[in-house]
Structure formats: C-alpha cells, structure tokens
Structure 1
Amino acid sequence: MNIQKLTENYIKNRPFIQIALGHDLINYSKLARIIGNELDISQFDAILIACRRYKEKLKPKKSLGIIELLKKSNMTINTNISTIIVEKNQCIDYLTELQKQNDTRIIKGESAVTIITNKDKLKEVEKRFKYSILKKTENLVEIIIRSSQKLEKIPGVTGYLYSLFGENDINIIETMSTWTDTIIIIENKDLSKVLEIMDFNT
C-alpha cells in the first residue's frame, strides 16, 4: 500500500482529525510526523503532501455539521451505574418487566444479555440472576447525548464520538442508541475528561 493510501486510511479512522482539517486547525507538519512515527514511515515529505491532498478532498460542510449538531445537543449524566452481564434466556419475564422501567436498559446479544441499571436497582437484579451472572461492573457513569432529528441525516456523528473518546484514553464499557439518543457507559474516573472534550462551545 502506498503512502498516500496509508495516510488517508490513518485520517479516515480518526474522525476528529478530519473535522480539525475541515476547520484548518491542523499543523500539517506535526500531523505528518505523528503519522510517520505511528506507521513507521520515514518519508516525511510524502506524508505531508498526502495530508494536504486529503484536505482538498474533504467536504467542508460535513465536519461543520457534526460539530454544530453536537453543540445543540443536550447531555445528561447519571452516576452510580452498574452493568450486569447474564446468560441469555434466563428470567425472561423479569427482563421484559425491566425493559419497561426508566432506570434500566437492556442490550440483548447472541449469547448474553447486558443489564444497565442504577445502584438502587442493583441488588434486586443480582438476586434475580444469582446463578447466571457472567460479569458485573460497578461505579460507572451513563452519558446520554440527546440530539435533534438531524442526527439521522448527518453521517459520521457516532464514529466521531467513539474516535474522540478513544484518542483521549476513555474506555467505552457499553453503548447503545435509540433514535436521537446516543448512550455511552464509561468508568467514573473518566468523567472529568468527558466533560472537557464534550464542551463544543468553547
């Protein structure tokens, strides 16, 4: 694979860099050095040219749309959250009842079910699934990003958020979306970093 393609793939996999390029906020020399170091490529000038060429291909309104959408989105933070992963097909009636409650979320997979709930509900859930709990994680935070209906028409929003979290060493424990709500579960220790990187109005 040539340097142009390697550079393009590097930037494509990091939506936050694309947005910074779209707003002319990138120092091309520094970006080229970072790409060269991470991909072990010594041809600095070739990477620099590839970065500039990629910038020319960007649609200027795409990155602007993501930032503007997130600026107008509302963020809700819920602390004392826990996730419990249980074996599938256990206590089906109880799971159905949990899905109707506002303080609990259910994510069904092929082999297991993840229950996201708060501290007050935790003991009740543990008691019901006493012999089928595969994993339990406590002291988590639920981030709910509620956007406008424009979310459906702007590509790359979720990818941008995941990339932003990853580049800031914030581990996403669980994630789900329901129409205009994007829900992300993180560790409590990362909350301050999330508040900092999600301030799009500064």
Structure 2
Amino acid sequence: MKTISSVVENYIKSKPFLQSALAQGIINLTSLSRTIKEDIENELGKDVRNGAIVMALKRLSSELEFRATHRILKVLKNIGEITVRSSLTDYTFLVSDTILNKQSQLLQEINNSKDVFYTSSRGVNETNIVISDSLNKVVETLFKEEKMTQKEGNLSSISVKLPEDNVRIPGIYYFIFQRLAWEGIIINEVISTTNEFTIIVAEDQIDKAFKVMKDLKTL
C-alpha cells in the first residue's frame, strides 16, 4: 500500500541534487511541499495536505542527514594525499587488433622518461590515453595508423587517495562528483583503482576543482 511517506521518499530519491540539498537542510520544506504536491497527489490518486508532505519531508531529511553525516562524511574526512598534474593531453582511439601492440611500445617509451603522467583505459569500442604533453609526438607517431576519434589538450589531473573503507560505503563518488557539478566543473575523464581515483579537467578549472576536493575534508 502506498503511503504519503513512501511516495515522497521515492520522489526525492529520483532527484539526486534535491536529495542532497534536503540532507543538508538548505531547502524550505513548506515551499518544496507546494512544488511537489501535484506529483504526490497523482501518484497516490487522492488529495494530500501540504502539512502531511512537510512532515514526510522532515522525517526524510533527518534520515538523509544521518546517512551523510555518519557514513560518507566520515570517509571523506580521512581523504589522503591530493596530487595535481598539469600539461596533459587526452587521446581517444577506436579499438583495433593492433592497438595493444602500440600501447606496449608506448610503455617502453614511458619507462625511458622521467616524471611522466600516463593512464589508459579500454572500453568495448574505444581506448583512452591521457599522457603528459612531452610525449604527444611519441603517441601520435606510434598511433598514426589507428583511428583517433578525439584529442583534447590543455588538461590537468587531480588524484585523490581514499580510505580503504570507501569500497564499503555507498555514495562516496556521487557525493564528490555532485559537488564538482555544483561548481560547474566539467570532467573529461575519470580513472579509478580500489582506493584512488583521478579526474581530468580543463586547466582553467583546476584551481576550482582542487578547492572542492580539499574542502571535502572539512565538511
């Protein structure tokens, strides 16, 4: 049986930004109840008082605040080293029968170079390479026979060390990326391992992105 509380909760959960704002207590519940009243009534198939929706929102906001405070924020306060690298280029190539061999040759070149940033990921149809600008000519020479679908320069990276228990807490990445989105930061690439992730952004957004990451520790 549908109840006002369950319908309100499902509505809020379908709106991630609204859910986060509600958890932080920065929304006027009375105004919100008026805004969503018609949707809640349509779902229930009956008239609903604003006061009932407000009460459901209050209960939900308390629960959401508890989840954020005692799980996600506990992890984020223990974020480790934050490393920034600049002067990067992002290449995207179509997957082919020869591209792994080209990557092997690239790795040999990287082993002979000091202080070079390199990361690569492979999807079903595309292979992505993010590398220091100093090796751009090497990449373009080795991969000249491959189909390049995109090249983006003037990029920087931010690498973040996460506590080991991050893999047991849902919502860590959502919480971080939501704050980046709020600041209007466009993420070109995301690369992750078990306890570390790296985002690639335009160089003119790196200062703002770094501040978002650093401020996570003080939430």
TM range, normalised to the smaller chain? 0.7 to 0.9
Matched, 1:171 2:170: no
Matched, 1:66 2:72: yes
Matched, 1:104 2:118: yes
Contact conserved, 1:176 with 1:182, CA < 8 A, in 2? yes
Residues in 2 aligned to 1:98 and 1:148: alpha-carbon distance in whole angstroms: 32
Aligned to 1:9: 14
Contact conserved, 2:25 with 2:61, CA < 8 A, in 1? no
TM (norm. structure 1) is 0.78
Spell out the pairing of 1:93-172 with structure 2 (5 A cutoff).
93-98=101-106, 101=110, 103-131=117-145, 132-172=147-187
The worse-fitting range, judged by mean Cα deviation, of 109-118 and 160-169 is: 160-169
Residues in 1 aligned to 2:59 and 2:179: alpha-carbon distance in whole angstroms: 23
Matched, 1:188 2:203: yes
Residues 200 and 35 (structure 1 numbering): CA distance in 2 closer, same or farther, change over 3 Å?
farther
Residues 70-125 of structure 1: CA deviation (Å, up to 9, x unaligned): 23222111111110001212432221344575621111011111101111111210
Residues in 1 aligned to 2:75 and 2:53: alpha-carbon distance in whole angstroms: 32
Aligned to 1:29: 28
Equivalent residues, number? 195
Residues 139-186 of structure 1: CA deviation (Å, up to 9, x unaligned): 111111111211122221111112221222111111121110111111
Identity level (%): 19
> Structure 2 counterpart of 1:29, which letter?
N
Q: Mind listing any 5+ residue stretches in structure 2 that lack a counterpart?
A: 41-48, 111-115
Instruction: Note the aligned Cα RMSD (angstroms).
Output: 3.4
Residues 140 and 9 (structure 1 numbering): CA distance in 2 closer, same or farther, change over 3 Å?
same
Higher Cα Rg, which structure:
2
Residues in 2 aligned to 1:176 and 1:34: alpha-carbon distance in whole angstroms: 39
Contact conserved, 1:99 with 1:105, CA < 8 A, in 2? no
Residues 154 and 98 (structure 1 numbering): CA distance in 2 closer, same or farther, change over 3 Å?
farther
The offset of 1:8, in angstroms, is 3.4
The offset of 1:17, in angstroms, is 1.5
Contact conserved, 2:154 with 2:203, CA < 8 A, in 1? yes
Contact conserved, 1:84 with 1:136, CA < 8 A, in 2? yes
The offset of 1:32, in angstroms, is 4.7
Aligned to 1:75: 82
Aligned to 1:92: 100
The worse-fitting range, judged by mean Cα deviation, of 98-107 and 26-35 is: 26-35
